[in-house]
Structure 1
Amino acid sequence: MNRLRGVTSPYLLQHAANPVDWWPWGDDAFVEARGRDVPVLLSVGYSSCHWCHVMAHESFEDAELAAYLNERFVSVKVDREERPDVDAVYMEAVQAATGQGGWPMTVFMTPDGEPFYFGTYFPPAPRHGLPSFRQVLEGVHTAWRDRRDEVGEVSARIVADLAARGDVYGAAGQAPPDEAVLHEAVVELGRTYDEEHGGFGGAPKFPPSMALEFLLRHHAATGSADALRMVEETCSAMARGGIYDQLGGGFARYAVDAEWVVPHFEKMLYDNALLLRVYLHLWRATGSARARRVALETADFLLAELRTPEGGFASALDADSAGPDGHNHEGAFYAWTPGQLAEALGAEDGARAAALFSVTEAGTFEAGASVLQLLEDPADDDGAWFAGVRARLLAARASRPRPARDDKVVAAWNGLAIAALAETGALLDRPDCVEAALAAADLLVSVHLTAEGRLLRTSRDGRPGVGAGVLEDYADTAEGFLALYSVTGEASWLTLGGLLLDRVLEHFVDTASGALYDTASDAEKLIRRPQDPTDNATPSGWTAAAGALLGYAALTGSSRHRGAAEAALGVVTALGPRAPRFIGWGLAVAEACVDGPREIAVVGPDGDAATAALHRTALLGTAPGAVVAVGEADAAGVPLLADRTLQGGRPAAYVCRRFSCDAPVTEPAALAERIR
């Protein structure tokens, strides 16, 4: 075992038995490199990364290569999901130098952390124009030994170039987006929209969760038929395609093709939390039966497959698992042949299921296997048959070797899941979803939240990790807590959300420009303080913070939080019209800002049927980013409920925006009219 034994990251633990003498990220590794006068190899990946596993098996498990590496380098292994700050800084350098990036990420640097040579996956022998990993190591070692001055010049230039980037997004001083900016963003999304298959761009195709949320809000605000059409068609295509698990629910990371047929099979918590919310909101806007079904099935997937014994949600399921030959293959758990369907269901039902799920003799995947699709919903009179087939196939699939699970709990992604499950439980009458959201929130408070009100990013088995929370952890956790407050009426969640957002204002905001940094002002100093307002697989911490700040301001009347949200949204004005696919969450937040957002206060006795009816109506409202407060009349601790009273002894709802309020109403129908 090397120095990775005992860490909390499942990805690092996968390398603990390598012959490579790995170090975890930290000062000790760089002190060792300075003492030995050798360069540092930084290898960054994550647990469900297919090519990370490949390179580990080909190179890091090779004793001869490991001996060469151990003698001439200090090797540092980083889980990008545990240390997104380290990943972001060096990925920025990789992309600037090579024009591309990805994982595994391979970086060679000086003992001072300054990078000078980059790459991603390197094979064990030269192929596809790539040198072998051994050739790379030999070349770097020779350069370090014989051309040290040149190495120093390269690394110094890279660090200087990164430091000089400054406000590359043009955010400083810009006002938040107005209706014209948001309209331009929709037009640009339409320009890249795939009219044939849904989604944006070509292959590979990723679920555009943040852009879909923006389009739903834009439709609610303006009635845009084009915005709604792009959402409906994309959600339908994804739900029918192989990217969606037609048996167990939940979405894979992305499709390798433009038609959503063949996924990259890893299933991530963040994707499914975000898509759960999109499908729920699509149902709320349209009443779509398919959207409701997919939302419920995705929630069931989260509860069945990703919950941890401590009440949190695990990060991911691997793409690979053991196939019939005993070796790991991508998609082995999920793909089917006609013969396998017949074996599980019998000849007649197997043939019928093959036709329904588009399973063919030629196959749509590898080795004659197919990924299940559901291009047409079963006829109404086939409902019982279809439910039985799904149950039998699930039982048959359960006997296969399962993909490995990365069971670390990431604060940000659990915050996304808390928000999605809380809303799902409230709107679709699933109290178990609300209870699961509460349990995950309790875990974040008890394990991730320190006595000083600071967040730790990860935990595993109830044991906190060592990495400090980054901006997305504070923002998404606050978003989850605010959603829990709106659903449960428990004011403690509003208080905790405010505590986290105060830390954002204290430690992450550039007060001069309103821009936000991904790491705290007192975090570990890297070669550059990471800062990125654009979405990746998840909403950027920058715009997620803007959304949570805006919602908290609406619930509390805090001008400080409102001002910070508006300042942060200046970047959306700069990027929204020209790159809306990459700042979708910021555009969604901007829609809320333009609309107000609406502030809905529901007052009435707890457990009262009339109060519950008004509360449910408020949560069903489609006004962009509307906030909901619920509690006893003039309840303490919730500013939006202050001075709100019953009307004629009856529970009442108050709707306000932009410093003015409508007359209170006591009937759900009247409330619904005011929050469309």
Structure 2
Amino acid sequence: MMGGVNRLTESTSPYLLQHKDNPVDWQPWSPAALAEARARNVPILLSVGYAACHWCHVMAHESFEDPAIAEVLNEHFVNIKVDREERPDIDAVYMTATQAMTGHGGWPMTCFLTPDGEPFHCGTYYPPQPRPGMPSFRQLIAAVVDAWRERPAELAEAGGQLVEHLRAQTGPLTVAEVDGAVLDEAVAKLAADLDPVNGGFGTAPKFPPSMVLEALLRHYERTGSASALSTVEQTASAMARGGIYDQLAGGFARYSVDAEWIVPHFEKMLYDNALLLRCYAHLAVRTDSPLASRVTEQTAEFLCAELRTPEGGFASSLDADTEGVEGLTYVWTPDQLTEVLGESDGAWAAEVFGVTAQGTFEQGSSTLRLLTDPADSERLARVRAELLRARRERPQPQRDEKVIAAWNGLAITALAEAGAALDRPQWIAAAREAAELLIRVHYVDGRLLRGSRDGIAGQAGAVLEDYGCLSEALLTLHQVTGEPHWLALACELLDAAVELFAHESAAGAYYDTPADGEALVQRPADPGDNATPSGAAALANSLLTASLLVGAERADAYRSKATAALDRAGALVAKMPRFAGHWLTAAEAMHAGPVQVAVVGAAGDPGRAELWASAAAQVRSGGVALAGEPDAPGVPLLSQRPLVDGAAAAYVCRGYVCDRPVTTVAELHAALQPR
């Protein structure tokens, strides 16, 4: 280490750059780092986190900025920092090990590895002073140093045994068909796990169940289940009224620390807001809910105003902390409301937003919740605007500028779908600009790269979720714009994903890393959805969508691959539906037909525009809709679909069986009703 600067200075990851001035001689994960550990015959300290992580900041300040601790680490370890968002493959491998050793996981993740990368001790946050049942970080590293000096062979053997155990415990699931009965049972299990008072599933901490809500909404569309719709509406309303939602600027925090959605973990992640935007937009057009419509509008504007980068992509997150204090930007006291709004409006706002003298957060401060729907909507809008103006004068959380392919894919899909359904062309334009950035910067020589910053791509190759989420985004852009090149690019990504990630002996199973990717101690392949869709679920959804948009010669191949992937996840869907929400969305679409709507008409024809607007707002359960001129080149859905008596027409098909074309919005509405 030279001049107090370690080996993170050239990183594209903002998280790694946060640690570039630590006295610890951090370096990024690389073959060279492992080779150094082997050459020095010292263990590896692997520290994994991300830029918006509160406890990552805490541990860095308490331990990694301590020169005495750094001296021990630099002498006895090779110290590696990993951004879990940039290298989800590394995170997945060692998080599995951490959970196996401790029964839980989280970030910061702290692992000690042999020079070959095999973990022999794993944990999460360690404090500067010992606590009951938890050693201090200083005690821990001293114990590891002593153990490595006295019994290195024993530690190496333990690491090897753990890796073999994890390999034995993982592998493709057995094939299990996802039929209608399985879907009904999955919905019943979700209902049993519902919090009937507060919405959502389970207890604290409570995460937004965006993919499960999308699946339940599709189930309602397919079956008419009132209970499925009620679950979606209750949970969506509770989150939108809670502290997890930013009542002033829009956008959702990552999770709520309590079961009532009152106190969030204040970081705002791109992926959460993209997934939730999609869900609220679909709920808005299905139910005409004013609350869902408002949240859709505000969340889309949050993405475009707060997370959009100068290059046109979307940044990864806003930090949980401001100047080292969690929630500093967002919380209020009654006196602060009065200071900004005056006595009358301040008292009124305190009642509306649940701000009390006792507080709901720390030191007598409160998060803002929407406890009532005031009759005076103009007053509410004015109060919101004044509070937001005052809040923007406070110190603001830092932004992780990293552009992640998969998460941008989720945002592109959500903005394009919401823009088409709610007639917001500016959202579609933002989605297109982000896609153009990803193709220009991340797509190199037929391969996708995971991340970029300031328009410069990082070195990490994409994982399966990147291919799946981005291909779905490009298919959505193809639909809302009618532009053929998005379909061609999406198919290129899908074909590459199938070739690079498919399991060598289990049809329908996929690894999360490519066959020619960096060899880690284990090749990750997690089919379960978590905060984001699993790579395999994202791919299955995209394959299904593509099967509805390509020509007949490719449609069957894509659909059969989607079906095989879904059947491979059937046991997960049946047993743990809360962790299979994105799989359930694909399954519901499969069982609904799905629907294809091709609207043909001359450019500028008002009849075509009316039919397209109606189709965009009504197509359900993973169906597709597209408008353009008959037989437009590169747009198979419009092939051999002529005008009707010279007028614009809509062709509705289900399961590759088509109705007669219709020429009016009323006829199209009738044709799209569930059957």
User: Shared fold by TM > 0.5?
Assistant: yes
Which among 592, 614, 617 is matched to residue 617 of structure 1?
Answer: 614
> Does 246-255 or 556-565 show the bigger shift?
556-565
Give the counterpart letter for 2:43 in structure 1.
P
Which among 381, 385, 397 is matched to residue 379 of structure 2?
Answer: 385
For the Cα contact (< 8 Å) 2:278–2:414, is it kept in 1? yes
How many angstroms apart in 1 are the aligned matches of 2:341 and 2:170?
Answer: 61
Give the counterpart letter for 1:174 in structure 2.
A
How many angstroms apart in 1 are the aligned matches of 2:154 and 2:273?
Answer: 47
Give the counterpart letter for 2:368 in structure 1.
L
How many angstroms apart in 2 are the aligned matches of 1:640 and 1:371?
Answer: 49
Give the counterpart letter for 2:256 in structure 1.
A
For the Cα contact (< 8 Å) 1:359–1:371, is it kept in 2? yes
Q: CA deviation at 1:657?
A: 2.3
How many angstroms apart in 1 are the aligned matches of 2:68 and 2:53?
Answer: 24
How many angstroms apart in 2 are the aligned matches of 1:518 and 1:261?
Answer: 35
Q: Which runs of 5+ in 2 are unaligned?
A: none
How many angstroms apart in 1 are the aligned matches of 2:404 and 2:338?
Answer: 41
How many angstroms apart in 1 are the aligned matches of 2:198 and 2:569?
Answer: 28
Which among 407, 413, 428 is matched to residue 407 of structure 2?
Answer: 413
Q: Name the residue aligned to 1:320.
A: 321
Q: Name the residue aligned to 1:325.
A: none
Give the counterpart letter for 2:176 in structure 1.
Q
1:17 paired to 2:11? no
Q: Name the residue aligned to 1:561.
A: 558
For the Cα contact (< 8 Å) 2:599–2:649, is it kept in 1? yes
How many angstroms apart in 2 are the aligned matches of 1:396 and 1:56?
Answer: 31
- Matched residue SS, 1:459: strand
TM alignment of 1:160-559, pairs within 5 A: 160-167=164-171, 169-170=173-174, 173-175=175-177, 177-322=178-323, 328-379=324-375, 382-450=376-444, 452-510=445-503, 512-556=506-550, 557=552, 558-559=555-556
Q: CA deviation at 1:194?
A: 0.5
Q: CA deviation at 1:630?
A: 2.0
Q: Name the residue aligned to 2:650.
A: 653
For the Cα contact (< 8 Å) 2:422–2:617, is it kept in 1? no
For the Cα contact (< 8 Å) 1:8–1:465, is it kept in 2? yes
For the Cα contact (< 8 Å) 2:173–2:569, is it kept in 1? no
1:606 paired to 2:603? yes
For the Cα contact (< 8 Å) 2:171–2:525, is it kept in 1? no
Q: CA deviation at 1:560?
A: 1.4
Deviations 1:596-633 (A, max 9, x none): 21111111112221111111111112431101232210
For the Cα contact (< 8 Å) 1:284–1:622, is it kept in 2? no
- Matched residue SS, 2:626: strand
Q: CA deviation at 1:168?
A: 5.6
Q: CA deviation at 1:166?
A: 4.2
- Matched residue SS, 1:126: coil
For the Cα contact (< 8 Å) 2:619–2:625, is it kept in 1? no
> Does 563-572 or 543-552 show the bigger shift?
563-572
Q: CA deviation at 1:572?
A: 3.6
TM-score between both structures, scaled by the size of structure 2: 0.97
For the Cα contact (< 8 Å) 2:589–2:621, is it kept in 1? yes
How many angstroms apart in 2 are the aligned matches of 1:403 and 1:549?
Answer: 38
Deviations 1:534-581 (A, max 9, x none): 111111111111000000011113221111100000134212222111
Q: CA deviation at 1:526?
A: 0.7
- Matched residue SS, 2:650: strand
How many angstroms apart in 2 are the aligned matches of 1:168 and 1:559?
Answer: 24
Give the counterpart letter for 1:630 in structure 2.
A
- Matched residue SS, 2:374: coil
TM alignment of 1:40-55, pairs within 5 A: 40-55=44-59
How many angstroms apart in 2 are the aligned matches of 1:552 and 1:218?
Answer: 21
Q: CA deviation at 1:153?
A: 1.4
Deviations 1:294-316 (A, max 9, x none): 00000111111100000000000
> Does 508-517 or 1-10 show the bigger shift?
508-517
How many angstroms apart in 2 are the aligned matches of 1:622 and 1:183?
Answer: 22
For the Cα contact (< 8 Å) 1:572–1:587, is it kept in 2? no
Which among 654, 663, 666 is matched to residue 666 of structure 1?
Answer: 663
How many angstroms apart in 1 are the aligned matches of 2:190 and 2:373?
Answer: 29
Alignment RMSD: 1.1
For the Cα contact (< 8 Å) 2:308–2:314, is it kept in 1? yes
How many angstroms apart in 1 are the aligned matches of 2:132 and 2:321?
Answer: 23
Give the counterpart letter for 1:3 in structure 2.
R
- Matched residue SS, 1:117: strand
TM-score between both structures, scaled by the size of structure 1: 0.97
Q: Name the residue aligned to 2:83.
A: 79
User: Which runs of structure 1 show a deviation greater than 4 angstroms over 4 or more consecutive aligned residues?
Assistant: none
Q: Name the residue aligned to 1:32.
A: 36
For the Cα contact (< 8 Å) 1:576–1:587, is it kept in 2? yes
For the Cα contact (< 8 Å) 1:45–1:78, is it kept in 2? yes
- Matched residue SS, 1:213: helix
- Matched residue SS, 1:555: coil
Q: CA deviation at 1:52?
A: 0.5
Q: Which runs of 5+ in 1 are unaligned?
A: 323-327
For the Cα contact (< 8 Å) 2:420–2:617, is it kept in 1? no
For the Cα contact (< 8 Å) 1:174–1:567, is it kept in 2? no
Give the counterpart letter for 2:71 in structure 1.
A
For the Cα contact (< 8 Å) 1:448–1:456, is it kept in 2? yes
How many angstroms apart in 2 are the aligned matches of 1:302 and 1:540?
Answer: 23
